[in-house]
Amino acid sequence: MNDDTFENLEVWKEAIELAVRVYHLFQMCKDFEFRGQIQSAAMSISNNIAEGYERSSNAEFIRFLDIARGSCGEVRSQTYVAPRIGHLREVDARALRVDAKRLSKRIAYLIEVRRRDFS
């Protein structure tokens, strides 16, 4: 694998792990709308990181990183609802929130680095 690929970004790897955990935690959920929404938001994080990386400019990469960060917030928001409506244990919801918040901070840091290094 070439060294200059999105697959080498730690934030992309973490986003993949978060998406996998979300898929596993909600795979038996019969509320298809809720399940689809949180799974889609979780998948959106890594997909936007990858898409932005493959774009032709640093500004576009930053824009897609910002979208990915927004998807982290969407996942976190849904983890407050999920246990209250019986779709997830509170302990699992808290763990997802911690992971999504950490990933969001790491993406924000990457955005700042890219702005600083390419300005």
Q: Which sequence spans correspond to the domains of the chain?
A: 6-117
Give the burial string for 22-57 (b: 16+ CB within 10 Å, else e).
beebbeebeeeebbebbbebbbbbbbbbbbbbeeee
pLDDT over 90 at 3, yes or no: no
Given this model, what pLDDT does residue 69 score?
98
Q: In this predicted model, what pLDDT tens digit does every residue of 85-101 receive, in sequence order?
A: 999 999 999 999 999 99
Give 42-65 pLDDT, tens digit per residue: 999 999 999 999 998 999 999 999
Q: Tell me, what's the pLDDT at 2? A: 45
DSSP for 41-78, please give it. Answer: HHHHHHHHHHHHHHSSSHHHHHHHHHHHHHHHHHHHHH
pLDDT in the model for residue 112: 96
What would the two tokens of residue 62 be? 């930053």
- Closest-CA residue to 64 (of 72, 55, 73): 55
* Mean predicted lDDT score pLDDT of the chain: 95
Q: What percent of the chain has pLDDT over 90?
A: 93
Provide the pLDDT for residue 1: 37
Domain spanning 6-117: CATH superfamily: 23S rRNA-intervening sequence (1.20.1440.60)
Q: Give the separation between CA 82 and CA 58, rounded to whole angstroms.
A: 36
The reported pLDDT for the residue numbered 22 is 98
